[in-house]
Amino acid sequence: MEIKDIKQKILDEISKTEKLIEKYKEMTKPIAPDVAIGRISRMDAINNKSVTEAALRQAEEKLRNLHRVFSQLGTKDFGYCLKCKKPIPLGRILIRPESLYCVNCAK
Domain of 43 in residue numbering reads as: 3-77
Is residue 93 one of the residues assigned to a domain? no
Classify residue 15: in a domain, yes or no: yes
In a domain, 67, yes or no: yes
> Are the beta carbons of 86 and 102 closer than 8 angstroms?
yes
Q: Is residue 8 part of a domain?
A: yes
The string of pLDDT tens digits covering residues 13-29 is: 999 999 999 999 998 88
Percent residues over pLDDT 70 in the chain: 90
Mean pLDDT confidence for 58-64: 97
DSSP 3-state of 50: helix
Residue 18 falls within a domain, yes or no? yes
Cβ(59)–Cβ(20) under 8 Å?
A: yes
Give the three-state DSSP class for 96: coil
> Does residue 35 belong to any structural domain of this protein?
yes
